[in-house]
Homo-oligomer: A and B are copies of this chain.
Amino acid sequence: MSRLDRSLISELPLFQGIEPADLDGIVGQARSLRIARDHTVFDQEGEAHSFFLLLDGRVRVVKTTPEGQQVTVHYISPGELMGIAHALGRTTYPATAIAVVDCVVLAWPGNLWPELAARFPNFGAGTFRTVGARLQETQQRVIEMATEQVEQRVAHALLRLVKQTGRKTDEGILIDFPISRQDIAEMTGTTLHTVSRLLTAWEEKGLVRSGRQKVTVVEPHKLFALAEGRGSKG
């Protein structure tokens, strides 16, 4: 096992205002894990033994209904916490986390969370902000699902991904991990067929370029106009 040191986390907003020696202590209590693509970091209903910090890669958080339908709740980017069931007073994970590319994570024992939060108020407050932001985002999605039609929802979802993980290329802004029509459908509550049709239509209008597990947004502003319900017909 490789030596872990504070440089892994010292730049993250979550750990600002904590003494270097303490950072070493915190990191010292973590295990570092590599999660191969398509493998899970933790599983829905599983015992919440740990909480995690994503250092590198990208993780999809999915809830599965009793009927077996999947809904993608959130994408995790590097620097974010995940699996903080303990902090929320739960003993099992409420969702499954799947690595969409090879990932590196730090894992702490779940029961360490209260201790860390008590000793480092900034850490506790940071977790609070994370959860708060996630609540905001989730409420926003409820609003979208309740008031927008599919085309706008898919457009919003793509723009969100672009903001979180967009990488500039010569064609436009590439969503920087493999993402299928099915994945987008699970984020927006529609079917892969409808997503496919939308992407084809947008490609014809020059808004996006897309291929197998790959989407590039060429004209973010036009896509945004569409997301806001001001499509070309308005």
Contact = CB atoms under 8 A, between A and B. Distances in A.
Interface of A: 63, 65, 67, 69, 71, 73, 87-90, 94-95, 114, 117-118, 121, 124-125, 128-129, 131-136, 138-139, 141-143, 145-147, 188-189, 229
B65 A143 contact: yes
Contacts of A188: 146
A186 to B, nearest CB: 8
A interface secondary structure, majority: helix
A94 B131 CA distance: 14
B189 A128 contact: no
B146 A189 contact: yes
The 6 closest A-B pairs by CB, nearest first: A88-B132, A146-B189, A145-B145, A89-B129, A138-B138, A69-B147
A160 to B, nearest CB: 14
